[in-house]
Amino acid sequence: MTDLLFGLNWPQLAAALMLASTPILLAALGELVVERAGVLNLGVEGMMILGAVAGFAAGVETGAPLWGFLAAALAGAGLALLFGVLTQLLLANQVAAGLALTLFGLGLSALVGQGYQGIKPPPLARLEVPLLSEIPVLGPVLFRHDPVVYLSLLLVLATALFLARTRAGLILRAVGEDAAAAHALGYRVVRIRLLAIAWGGALAGLGGAHLSLVRVPQWTEGMTAGAGWIALALVVFAGWRSGRLLLGAYLFGGITVLQLNLQAAGIAVPVELLSMSPYLVTILVLVIMSSGRARAALAAPADLGRPFHAAA
């Protein structure tokens, strides 16, 4: 076992970790903003997979991965707005609507992806940060990634600043804490929530496209394999704070990469046990975070998942 662990190429693993974490990090960042606005969108998996196929298709058709990412963001936001219309305007149950989004997204993505199985997407150039990428060991780990990896890190910072420091962020949090009170102050709760939902969808779509265009990179049906659900769990793990989200995403990225490498290394543990480990660890972390003292430290938005209608 120890031989095996020392035998692994750790710097390469660390670089792979950042790559593997990016899809769930992006999706979770979007969902974090949505939940801070008081909306529980369980459709992350559906938006991710639609983003994955839309990004892949657009990337292949245009030959430019960046168009792919744009298409993925738009597709994710579009699907999210469907959820937004149902829950915010038609006041549908958020849990049911989120599930519908996932089921529909899985079906629609399979339909759209018919002709794209087994194709290689155009490669996305790595952005090698000058000078920094030359640093031994750390350089290749940290500074030789595709632009979306850096974008995700930038978004972690931006989300934190937006929520803590800007007036728009304050209003968004207020809407998530008590929609009725925010409405009484004259803020447009439904509009703010719809914007947040669309933003969450766009990021989930980006995350999906990163999966299909960069990480794998190809299109297969159901390729997100629960990444959207893990992203939802991560938001709970992070206590609705973006800094801790980064930690959580990299932790899970690490587990994924490690178990894949252990599988490849032919370790004497059943492949299936390794494959299920990310899900088991997610459940374990959820349990730890939601129980006892840890729960008190969590600051779930008070109005999370509650419907709001302005007619008082």
Partner 1 sequence: MPPAGRVLLSVEGLTKAYPGVLANDAVSFAVAEGEVHALLGENGAGKSTLVKAIYGLVRPDAGRMTFRGRPYAPAEPRAARAAGVAMVFQHFSLFEALSVAENIALGMERPPPLRELGRRIAAVSRAYGLPLDPLRRVGDLSAGERQRVEIVRCLLQDPKLLIMDEPTSVLTPQEATILFHTLRKLAAGGTAILYISHKLEEIRALCDAATILRHGRAVASLDPRRHGTRALAELMVGASFAPPARAGRAAGPTVLAVEGLTLAPAGGFGRGPGEVSFTVAAGEILGIGGVAGNGQDALLDALSGERPSAPGAVRLNGRPVGALGPAARRALGLSAAPEERLGHAAAPDMSLTENALVTAQVRERLTRRGFVDWARTRAFAERVIARFDVRTPGPGAAARALSGGNLQKFLIGREILQRPVVLAVNQPTWGVDAAAAAAIRRALIDLAAEGAAVVMISQDLDELLEIADRFAVLNEGRLTPPRPTAGLSLEEIGLMMGGAHGMHEIAGGPRRETGPAAPP
Partner 2 sequence: MIRLEKRAEPSRAWQVAAPVVAVGLTMLAGAAMFAALGKDPAAAIRTIFWDPLFSPQFAAYSRPQLLVKAAPLILIAIGLSFGFRAGIWNIGAEGQYLMGALAGGAVGLAFYPAGGAHIFPLMVLAGALGGWLWAMIPAVLKVRFATSEILVSLLLVYVAQQIVAAAAVGWLRNPEGGGFPGSRNLARYPAASNPELLPGTGVHWGVVAAALAVPLAWVLLLRHVAGFRVRLTGAAPRAARFAGVRPGAMTFACLSVSGALAGLAGLFELAGPAGQISIDFGSGYGFTAIIVAFLGRLHPFGILLAGLLMALTYIGGELAQFMLGIPKAAIQAFQGMLLFFLLGVDVLTNWRVRLRRRREAR
In the complex, the smallest distance separating the C-beta of residue 292 from partner 2, rounded to whole angstroms, is: 8
Selection from partner 1, partner 2, none that 178 binds (CB < 5 to 8 A by kind) is partner 1
Both tokens assigned to 20: 């593997």
CB of 208 to partner 2, least distance (A): 16
Binding partner of residue 272 among partner 2, partner 1, none, CB under 5 to 8 Å per kind? partner 2
At closest approach, how far in Å is the CB of 146 from partner 2? 27
Of the candidates 64, 153, 171, 251, which one interacts with partner 1 according to CB under 8 A?
Answer: 171
Q: Is 91 in the site for partner 1 (CB under 8 A)?
A: no
Our CB check for partner 2 shows the closer of 40 and 72 to be: 40
Q: Which is nearer to partner 2, 111 or 302 (CB)?
A: 111
User: Which one of residues 182, 223, 231, 238 is an interface residue with partner 1 (CB under 8 A)?
Assistant: 182
184-193 long-range contacts (CB < 8 A, ≥24 apart) are 189/308, 189/310, 190/88, 190/89, 190/308, 190/310, 192/37, 193/37, 193/38, 193/39, 193/84, 193/88, 193/308
Residue with smaller CB distance to partner 1, 1 or 312: 312
Residues that contact partner 1, how many (by CB under 8 A): 18
Q: Residue 173's binding partner, choosing from partner 1, partner 2, none, with beta-carbon cut-off 5 to 8 A by kind? A: partner 1
Shortest separation between residue 182's beta carbon and partner 1, angstroms? 8
For partner 2, which residue of 8, 225, 251, 304 counts as binding (CB under 8 A)? 225
Contact between 117 and partner 2 per CB under 8 A: no
Q: Which residues contact 70 (CB under 8 A, 6 or more apart)?
A: 58
Q: How far is the CB of 188 from partner 1 (least distance, A)?
A: 9
12-51 residues near partner 2, rule: CB under 8 A: 42
Q: How far is the CB of 233 from partner 2 (least distance, A)?
A: 5
Q: Binding residues for partner 2, per CB under 8 A? A: 42, 82, 85-86, 90-93, 95-97, 99-100, 103-111, 113-114, 221, 225-226, 229-230, 232-233, 236, 270-273, 275-276, 279-280, 282-283, 286-287, 290-292, 295, 309-312
Q: Binding residues for partner 1, per CB under 8 A? A: 167, 170-171, 173-174, 177-178, 180-182, 184-187, 299, 301-302, 312
